[in-house]
Amino acid sequence: QVQLQESGPGLVKPSGTLSLTCSVSGGSIRGYYWSWIRRPPGKGLEWIGNMYYTGTTNYNPSLKSRVTMSIDPSKNQFSLELTSVTAADTAVYYCAKKTGSYYDNYFDYWGQGILVTVSS
């Protein structure tokens, strides 16, 4: 059973950089796509980006200029960096495993989520 666990600071200052790591256990990170998704308070889910274990990325165009995802197969971890954060980036951030085909894909395993608050 694949398990994912997010880690990182729960508080980030405005204009700063949000950095999170997702540790994967119970299975290899190799051969799969890995994603970050967030849910702002009182709102729905928003896809941030996907990364293949080889390093190929695909980001949400609305966040693309501020997002960087990276992956370390040797540690079975992948990471998210979001720069120039504002209060609008306050959300619960989830890492997830993506499965399925290119157009018929979905998230079959999720981390428990980590609340990141942007505030001075």
Partner 1 sequence: QSVLTQPPSASGTPGQKVTISCSGGTSNIGSNTVHWYQQLPGTAPKLLVYSHNQRSSGVPDRFSGSKSGNSASLAISGLQSEDEADYFCATWDDSLNGPVFGGGTKLTVL
Q: What angle do CA 50, 51, 53 make, to 5 degrees?
A: 150
- Any contact of residue 115 with partner 1 (CB under 8 A)? no
Cα 107 to Cα 79: distance, rounded to the nearest angstrom: 17
Binding-site member from 34, 36, 78, 107 for partner 1 (CB under 8 A): 107
Pick between residue 81 and residue 108 the one whose CB is nearest to partner 1: 108
- Any contact of residue 2 with partner 1 (CB under 8 A)? no
- Any contact of residue 41 with partner 1 (CB under 8 A)? no
- Any contact of residue 94 with partner 1 (CB under 8 A)? yes
Pick between residue 14 and residue 55 the one whose CB is nearest to partner 1: 55
What six digits make up the tokens of 29? 């990170």
Report CA-CA distances (Å) from 40 to 18, 28, 88, 93, 105.
Answer: 15, 30, 8, 9, 23
Q: Where are the alpha helices (DSSP H) in the chain?
A: none
For residues 59 to 78, the per-residue mask of contacts with partner 1, x marking binding by CB under 8 A and - elsewhere, is xxx-----------------
- Any contact of residue 5 with partner 1 (CB under 8 A)? no
Cα 105 to Cα 17: distance, rounded to the nearest angstrom: 29
User: Which residues make up the interface to partner 1 (CB under 8 A)?
Assistant: 43-47, 49-50, 58-61, 94, 100, 103-108, 110-113
